[in-house]
Amino acid sequence: MNSQDHNAPASPRIHEGSEARPDLSSLHVREDIAITGLCGNVHLPTGRTCDMPERHDGSCRFVGPEDAENLAAR
Ligand SMILES: [Zn+2]
């Protein structure tokens, strides 16, 4: 956070709560995939699952449900 506060008077800073990252707002993590060391994010609108490594760079690469099943821990 490097943005300078622009002369805002001491406004009471309301804690916005620890909302999940906005970029993940439409995502859900499949734990059975996440525990295998993969990202496991599910794009809820499409039901597709990310098969990239955990904390990968860039955006998720979603694969279809069948591929995702192969990624899941048994
Ligand atoms: Zn991902």
Measured in angstroms, how far is the CA atom of residue 45 from the centroid of ligand 1?
15
Here the tokens at position 62 are: 């979603």
Instruction: Note the pLDDT of residue 6.
Output: 66
**Residue 11 C-beta-side C-alpha neighbours within 13 Å:** 8
Secondary structure (3-state) at 67:
helix
Measured in angstroms, how far is the CA atom of residue 54 from the centroid of ligand 1?
7
Residues 42-49, mean pLDDT to the nearest whole number = 92
Asked whether residue 23 carries a pLDDT value surpassing 70, the answer given is no
Q: Read off φ and ψ for residue 67, nearest 5 degrees.
A: -65, -40
Measured in angstroms, how far is the CA atom of residue 37 from the centroid of ligand 1?
11
**Burial degree of 29 (CB within 10 A; 0-12, 13-18, 19+):** middle
Asked whether residue 53 carries a pLDDT value surpassing 90, the answer given is yes
**Which residues have C-beta under 5 Å from ligand 1, the single-atom ion?**
39, 41, 50, 52, 60
The pTM for the full model equals: 0.63
2 vs 33 pLDDT, higher one: 33
The average confidence (pLDDT) of the chain is 81
Q: Which of 25-29, 47-51, 57-61 has the lowest mean pLDDT?
A: 25-29
